[in-house]
Structure 1
Amino acid sequence: MTAVPREEVGTRLTAHLVDRWEHDDTLMALLRAAVTNPAAADRMRELFAAQIGPAVAALVEDRTETALRAGLVATQALGFALTRYVLRLPPVVALTRTEVVAWLGPTMQRYLTDERA
């Protein structure tokens, strides 16, 4: 993420996450299991902490906000994945990759780089 222009990190991260969800059956199985299985939920938290945490830490100016911002990124990523791939909510399933990135990218950008209100 440090090689990505700061104003593009939300879009790039969203695109990366969509690509992962679209092509990683193991990740999808883990998401499904995490809803009801504590061990799977622990593993999902570990994955996000290991992968999203460092990316967020590299971007935030106030290191005390790293965990909060990473958690907010996770709300978008996991909420989207659950809605699109598990619950299969038709309007969300119908979105193209480009549309998903256009809708979620700005929110991710805000979580990653904007100052708190």
Structure 2
Amino acid sequence: MRRSDATRTAILAAARERFAADGYDRATIRAIAKDARIDPSMVMRYFGSKEGLFAAATSFDLRLPELGSLAPEEAGRVLVEHFLDLWEGNDALVALLRVGVAGAAGAERIRHTMFEQQVLPVAREVCPDPEQAAARAALAAAQMLGMALARYVLRFPPTVALAREEVVAWLAPTVQRYLTAPHPGGAL
């Protein structure tokens, strides 16, 4: 690994930890640099600003499942399995969720990444009424983010103890219902 790659990696690791611990507003470039054992000017050299550092530290590849071949009745299971694949052991996502519940920068990043890039495209593919896709995606995202908060951030013992298969068995039918079931009151 080149020295510049090692420095960048150290900065990103320190930033994830600091953003997760302190939140976006309280985390400082100086504290992140100290944690990474480098000069603060190096953080600015690599990332340009605190916003640029936050974006890089919370960036990840969504690896969305192939939607074109997805049968509508499989959407809940596929989305929940994908969600678990992304969240298990992903410090960037855990940091993003911690920051997201406490500040505008993290909330906007979660809206963009989790909702607009991940759940909304699936809802648009499988939802019976295209005009309901955004609302249905929001309901599905609320379920999955609630599980992420309970399992990975707050670490409620019962949710942490659930095997992956159990999480899928409990969560997938609810997500599926939000995405494809007839609206209980007619129009949404």
Task: Confirm or deny a common fold (TM above 0.5).
Answer: yes
> Secondary structure at 1:28's aligned position in 2?
helix
Verify: 1:6 aligned to 2:67, yes or no: no
Match of 1:68 in 2: 135
Q: CA deviation at 1:6?
A: 2.2
Gaps of 5+ in 1: none
Larger radius of gyration: 2
TM-score by length of 2: 0.60
SS in 2 for 1:54: helix
Q: Does 1:110 align with 2:177?
A: yes
TM-score, with structure 1 as normaliser? 0.94
CA contact (8 A) 2:126 2:180 kept: yes
Identity among equivalent positions (%) equals 49
Deviations 1:3-23 (A, max 9, x none): 122222111111110111104
Q: Residue 150 of structure 2 is aligned with which of 83, 91, 94?
A: 83
Match of 2:120 among 40, 49, 53: 53
2:76/2:179 contact within 8 Å kept? yes
Distance 1:85 1:21 in 2: 8
Aligned to 2:90: 24
In structure 1, C-alpha distance between the alignment counterparts of 2:138 and 2:82, rounded to whole Å:
17
Instruction: Write the distance in 1 (CA, Å) between the matches of 2:73 and 2:126.
Output: 11
Q: Which runs of 5+ in 2 are unaligned?
A: 1-66
**Larger RCO (CA within 8 A; separation ≥ 6):** 1
